[in-house]
Amino acid sequence: MNSQEWTVMNPAGDANVEHRSGAVRIDDFSGRRVGLWWNGKPNGDIFLNEVARQLESRNPGMTTVRMWELSPSTMTAYGVSGENLDKMVTSADVVIGALGD
């Protein structure tokens, strides 16, 4: 019988986590450009359109930027490229995202 050699590996790893503070809270969207980001999953656009409707009714002068209409390549479930993140940052004051499934 042939002998076999095995190496036992420990699957636990030491993670180096960079701690960051959260985004600044915006209490009033009046006069702001609010970007809506949708990853393309079913019904996320329906949800975001309702969020936009509710926010617009409460915040005079607020405008909505639907990122998937501005740049269809932002509609992805596989991660947003740096180029598309830059587009979103320059197109809105704040971005609200919806992930569907």
**Category of 23 on φ-ψ map: left (φ > 0), alpha (ψ -120 to 50) or beta:** beta
Q: How far is CA 53 from CA 2, 4, 59, 88, in A?
A: 71, 66, 10, 20
Task: Please state, as a whole number, how many other Cβ atoms lie within 10 Å of the Cβ of residue 48.
Answer: 21
Residue 28 has pLDDT above 80, yes or no: yes
pLDDT at 27: 87
* Average pLDDT rounded to a whole number, residues 82-100: 89
Task: Give the pLDDT band of residue 12 (cuts 50, 70, 90).
Answer: confident
